[in-house]
Structure formats: C-alpha cells, structure tokens
Amino acid sequence: MKINIHKNVFNTNEEYASEVKKILKKYNIKTFNLLSSPGAGKTTLLEETLKLLKDEYKCIVIEGDLATDIDRQRISQVGVESYQINTVKGCHLNAKMIYELLNDIVLNDIDFIFIENVGNLVCPAEYNLGEDHKIVILSTPEGDEKPLKYPVVFRNSDVCIINKTDLVKFVNFDIEKIKINLKKINPDLTTFFVSCYTKEGLNQWINWLKNNKEG
Amino acid sequence: MKINIHKNVFNTNEEYASEVKKILKKYNIKTFNLLSSPGAGKTTLLEETLKLLKDEYKCIVIEGDLATDIDRQRISQVGVESYQINTVKGCHLNAKMIYELLNDIVLNDIDFIFIENVGNLVCPAEYNLGEDHKIVILSTPEGDEKPLKYPVVFRNSDVCIINKTDLVKFVNFDIEKIKINLKKINPDLTTFFVSCYTKEGLNQWINWLKNNKEG
C-alpha cells in the first residue's frame, strides 16, 4: 500500500498552475482541460479522440468526477492509461490536484494529457490547471444560446467543440445562431462541429491536436 | 428610480432559508427550486407547466442566471410575472437573494413560486433556498448514469423529472437503468418521465403540483 502525503507547497491555485505548466513544458507534454455541462459528451469525445491518436502518440487521461470512476473505466477500455480524481462534493478540479498527481506518475515520453474536468459549465472555467488549452464542449441538445448564458467558460477557452451534431434535426439548435453567439462572446475561439456517432468533424479536431503538438 | 439597500440581517444561508420558509408559510405559497445541468430543459418545462397552471393558480417565477435575462423573457411571454437574479460569476442562487427579492414584491394571493436555479448539477444542490421541494431535471441526452456521478443533487431532491423522453430513441439512455440508478441514490424520489415536445407525462407532474398545493 502506498500512502502519498502532500504538503501545501504553494499557496494559490495560480501558483500551482504555474508549477504544473513548468513540469509539462519540461517534458514537452501538451495538455488540454475539457470543460462542459454533465452529459455533453466529454468522455465519448475522448474515447474517439484516443482511438485516433494512441497508435501514434502516447496519451494519458486524468478524470475528474465527484463520486465514481465510471468514465475512467471507459477510458481504460480504449487501452489508455488514466487516473481518477474524485472531488466528493467539489465542483471543479484545481491545479494542486494536478500538481500532486503529476508528482506521482512517470512523465517520460508522454505526448498528450487530456483532463476531463467535473461536468459543470460554471466553476471549472475559473481554475487554471496549468493546461495549454481549455476546450469547451457544448452539445446541441443544450441549446444555441448557452454562450450568452455561460460567458465565462466560452471566454476562457481556446477551442469550442459543438458536439452531437447528429441530433441537430431533432432539437432546437441553429448552427448559424451558435456561430453568431460564440463570436459575440469570444471572437478568437476555434470551433469544431463534431458528431462522435457519425464521426463528422473528428478529423479536423484531431488535426488541430496534432498541429498543436508538432507546431 | 428605486434603490434597494439590504443589510445582512442574518448570518448563514440556513438562517436566510429558514426565514424564507416562514414568509412562504405565512402567505401559504408553495415553492419549488428547479435544479439541472445547463440545457436540460428547465425553462421549457416551466413554460409548459405555467400554461397548464396559470388560469387556475397565481404563479410567479424567479429566474437565476449568470449573465442574461433570456429565460425571464421567455417566461414573460407565457404571461406570468417573473423576476431575474443575475449571479454574474456565481454558480448558484442562495437564500439571501430569495429573501431580499421576497421583501420587495407583493406576496398576496400567490399560489406557486417556481425558482429556476443557475444551470449546474453540483453547487446549487447544497444551498437551501427555503423552498418546499427541490426538483431535479435530467434530460435523456445527458445519460442514464448521471445519478451515480452527481449523487448530491439527486439525494437532496424530492422529485426527479426525466425530461426530453422523445429523444430516447436517438441517444444512449436506458429507462430501466435510470430507474435502478435513481433508486440506488434516493429510494424516496418521486419520478416523472416527461417530454415537453410530445407533452407525455406533463399531466402527472401537474397533478403532483396541484396535490401538493391542496394537500
């Protein structure tokens, strides 16, 4: 049995985030912090992403969840190493959690770390984890007005994935309206329209990840 | 122009909640705190609920939102009085907000107050607002494992509405599994299966509300 005892080495979340950033830079690892409402499809997107990346790149996944490791088990079945952080009642991951985890694992040869944050479109947006990019995922059944209603997460992210585009014809979601609303909140956002069911748009997203790694 | 200046009359959220409860009891008003992820369909459910109640009962709506009054405008179009609370970056409503609002409005003759909380399946569950019942809404595209992953909100609620049942055939959601998962987390939960699109299940929910008022 291994017991890890961690002291508070730093004081603020930003200090921990900046330390995480240094570690990731040292090992040349690209890290993405995935943010969305519960059920927007973060885990399914990760499964599809990992299937397309894992033969070429070493990936690991950090799963944030209040209470279970259901998502981590799904990631394991894709054949990718994954680590669980349970926040119990906590509504977001913080940089200290990531810092402590990185100190416990071997970082050599890792190309990508994907962090699946707690499903919450509000709180996680305010906590840097030392990641390279925040990725916000919005699924079409949630509605095209969400960038206006939850502006912080869309403003703080570099990429937006509009997920479940296969459901557009069954729900109240207008592709032109979402483009306008995203532009209003964050004109610099890179947006992908993806369906993990039909695989539409996955290649563009994967290419963006690869360019990000190689660039 | 009217400026309301409110002092901190009480110290804790629970003190404010208990005061709200007293006021609501005095006026014989039934109050429901609606909790869900963003995009689960709280506002649409409210629109349909109000259409079926408003000729018989006086209802008002309190809308919680970070940044907009989009939902309040929708409620107004149904012809029901509604009040907006913008939390800016706040991830939940608290009882002080409700207390102050109730002190500013005329409460005579009101039968029902519906509070639409900020879209967030984590934080709002921990804050009593003095309501009679917390109602958690889960939409089928979010997945049938959500009660296990977000247990607090399902444990703290009295009613669960499984919404968007018309989408079941297009998404990965098993009605038998959700029943098992809900029972595991909260065996006392009253559950309704609703589609605001086909109107399935709305009558049962409306009858529950009416019985709650008359009972």
Give the per-residue pLDDT at B4. 61
Chain B residues within 8 A of A121 when measuring between CB atoms = 37-38, 119-120
Choose the closest CB to A150 out of B66, B139, B150.
B66
Chain A residues within 8 A of B150 when measuring between CB atoms = 38, 66-67, 119
Tell me what the mean pLDDT of segment B50-59 comes to. 98
pLDDT band at residue B8 under the 50/70/90 scheme: confident
Cα-to-chain-centroid distance, residue B196: 16
B160-206 pLDDT tens trace: 999 999 999 999 999 999 999 999 999 999 999 999 999 999 999 99
Per-residue tokens: B174: 């098993």
To test the contact with chain A by mutation, choose from B35, B43, B66 the residue with the greatest count of A C-beta atoms within 10 A, namely: B66
Angle, helix A70-77 to helix A42-53, in steps of 10 degrees: 20
pLDDT band at residue B126 under the 50/70/90 scheme: very high
To test the contact with chain B by mutation, choose from A66, A117, A173 the residue with the greatest count of B C-beta atoms within 10 A, namely: A66
Please determine, for residue A215, whether its predicted confidence score (pLDDT) is greater than 90.
no
User: Does A63 contact B at CB distance below 8 Å?
Assistant: no
Choose the closest CB to B149 out of A67, A148, A171.
A67
Tell me what the mean pLDDT of segment A126-142 comes to. 98
Looking at B55-174, list the stretches that DSSP marks H as alpha helix, in order from N- to C-terminal side: 70-77, 95-104, 146-149, 151-156
CB spacing of A152 vs B66 below 8 angstroms? yes
CB spacing of B122 vs A118 below 8 angstroms? yes
CB spacing of B149 vs A123 below 8 angstroms? no
CB spacing of A66 vs B38 below 8 angstroms? no
To test the contact with chain A by mutation, choose from B36, B72, B91, B136 the residue with the greatest count of A C-beta atoms within 10 A, namely: B91
Per-residue tokens: A99: 């810092």
Q: Please provide the average confidence, as pLDDT, over all residues in chain A.
A: 96
Residue A130's region, left for phi above 0, alpha for psi from -120 to 50, else beta, is left
Give the per-residue pLDDT at A6. 66
Report helix, strand or coil for A170. Answer: helix
Cα torsion for B188, B192, A121, A6, to the nearest 10°?
20
Chain A residues within 8 A of B167 when measuring between CB atoms = 141, 167, 170-171
Q: Can you tell me the distance from the alpha carbon of A67 to that of A213, in angstroms, rounded to the nearest whole number?
A: 32
CB spacing of B118 vs A119 below 8 angstroms? no
Model ipTM over 0.90: yes
Choose the closest CB to B38 out of A91, A150, A170.
A150
CB A115 within 8 A of CB A137: no
Per DSSP, A195 falls in state: -
Chain A residues within 8 A of B145 when measuring between CB atoms = 68, 70
CB spacing of A167 vs B126 below 8 angstroms? no
CB A112 within 8 A of CB A98: no
Give the per-residue pLDDT at A1. 46
User: Does A65 contact B at CB distance below 8 Å?
Assistant: yes
Please determine, for residue B7, whether its predicted confidence score (pLDDT) is greater than 50.
yes
Beta-carbon contacts of residue B44 (< 8 Å; ≥ 6 apart): B196
Percent share of chain A, pLDDT over 70? 97
Distance between A117 CA and the closest CA of chain B, angstroms = 13
Per DSSP, B13 falls in state: H
pTM here?
0.94
Choose the closest CB to B146 out of A39, A141, A143.
A39
CA angle B210, B214, B215 (to 5 degrees): 110
Cα torsion for A61, A62, A68, A69, to the nearest 10°?
30
Beta-carbon contacts of residue A125 (< 8 Å; ≥ 6 apart): A35, A134, A136, A150, A152, A153, A156, A157
Q: Can you tell me the distance from the alpha carbon of B70 to that of B68, in angstroms, rounded to the nearest whole number?
A: 6
pLDDT band at residue B56 under the 50/70/90 scheme: very high
